[in-house]
Chain A
């Protein structure tokens, strides 16, 4: 329902813009009624988004860091860790650039929705995608190049993503010299205060593993 309403509201906005764009401004105060209606419309729709706390994008409710801060990570507030494993059992956390153009935060969100319900053909397809891209990235890093397929035209001036993930695979010894064989997804559990005092105070529970297709 929200999608329908939000879509219709944007169409209403576009219709008013098209009307205004097609007429020349007269400058007379009395002739500004269409502009006033458009202003009223945008103010009304954005207020609707805010008061209902529903995102009617591009009329957003801007729910940035709302809610009480979590004190525990796990359960409903789960955080997933995506790891690549070699045949000899070594594990390497996924570098966010390896799966470009998909954003690592969005992939983790997607997996949080679907991974706990157990392996499926679609999960395996995503696992195959991650394994293929990670292996490509591994070879690039081993040969001294930046991982990832997207060579950003703006270079270091590019807009940072929403979440500032660190670049993990920078030097050639940040990745193994043998191929990745598995994609493993762990669910993390830790208390914020506990882990702050002791960085090793966290637990990992394996929720999914993709072993490649034969």
Chain B
């Protein structure tokens, strides 16, 4: 019994606290902040609070849950600018624990303004992972590098302290796909991936000229033979259920990340739906390895020295 406990504890620590590069955690902080900035600067959350009639039927539970007080757009406008400022500080690595904490909490309040007036949550609108991801960055030492005066820290030894928050943020990204696959199987079973189901989804998402920007790729796909549509449907389920492998098998990232990016683009042009959170797949890139390659001094024509090559040099794209 004790041995089993020790084994499971070792496995737990071996996964969540396996030594990780400081730069990868810091890059996660920068990516999460930049992604949130992208969404916040593309929306106008504050003014939604001022469109009084749509808030008439909103339940008190929703208002309390997200601390929404409709009719005070000026206050929400100030909070929105506070969130933007905190995110910029988070990108720059200036007081990142405080800035990520403030940004995460403010986005927990602001993001629901987009949908809360009809008592639904804003999942898939861009900021679902932001409150949790940013707060994870606040709880972790993400400012040891990529902060003023800290540099890239390529010589800094890997540590388990840099691992758990990054792995958890990566898991949250995988869950977008994994849970989407699970939901499909619960609601429709494997029939979701059938040719008929694919054809109907594609027609549904493309046929209405008032509700779709792209029409040609989706309707062209819908007109393909059933075998191809079945492969497409089952492939979608398999990819969504399989993305989580990237969390455990690092070498699969070489093809899973590009495949997922391609899948995301294909969804936009064939389904006319955009789930901005999926672009956080870049959290899986080994930015330390990229920085090592980019900062590698080019050998001179005279066969010059390689001074400055980091002590942990070498490309570890599968680390």
Contacts and interface: CB of A to CB of B under 8 A. Distances in A.
A166 B211 CA distance: 7
Contacts of A62: 123-124, 175-177, 179-180, 183
A107 B54 CA distance: 8
A160 B274 contact: yes
A28 B300 CA distance: 43
B272 interface: yes
Contacts, number: 246
A64 B105 contact: no
A103 B108 CA distance: 19
B85 interface: no
B161 A101 contact: no
B38 interface: yes
Contacts of B57: 113-114, 122
A74 interface: no
B11 interface: no
A87 interface: no
Contacts of A27: 159-161
Q: From DSSP, what is the main secondary structure of chain B's interface residues?
A: helix
Given A13-B132, A58-B130, A79-B208, A106 B64 contact: no
Contact of B39 (A36, A122, A159, A164): A159
A153 B187 CA distance: 40
Contacts of A4: 61, 65
A68 B188 contact: yes
A138 to B, nearest CB: 17
Q: Which of A49, A110, A188 has the most CB of B within 10 A?
A: A110
Interface in B118-160: 118, 120-132, 135-136, 138-141, 159-160
B115 interface: yes
B12 A14 contact: no
7 contacts: A3-B59, A42-B168, A42-B172, A53-B183, A55-B121, A60-B124, A64-B124
Interface of A: 3-4, 6-7, 10, 13-14, 16-18, 20-21, 25, 27, 29, 32, 35-36, 38-39, 42-43, 46, 49-50, 53, 55, 57-71, 73, 79, 81, 93, 100-103, 106-107, 109-110, 113-114, 122, 125-126, 128-129, 149-150, 152-154, 158-166, 168, 188, 192-193, 195-196, 199
Interface of B: 12-13, 16-17, 38-39, 41-45, 47-48, 51-54, 56-57, 59, 61-62, 64-65, 97, 101, 105, 108, 112, 114-115, 117-118, 120-132, 135-136, 138-141, 159-161, 164, 167-168, 171-172, 175-180, 182-184, 186-188, 191-192, 196-198, 200-201, 203-204, 207-214, 219, 222, 268, 271-276
Given A3-B65, A65-B201, 11 more contacts: A10-B131, A35-B17, A62-B124, A62-B179, A101-B45, A125-B52, A125-B53, A153-B41, A159-B126, A162-B274, A192-B204
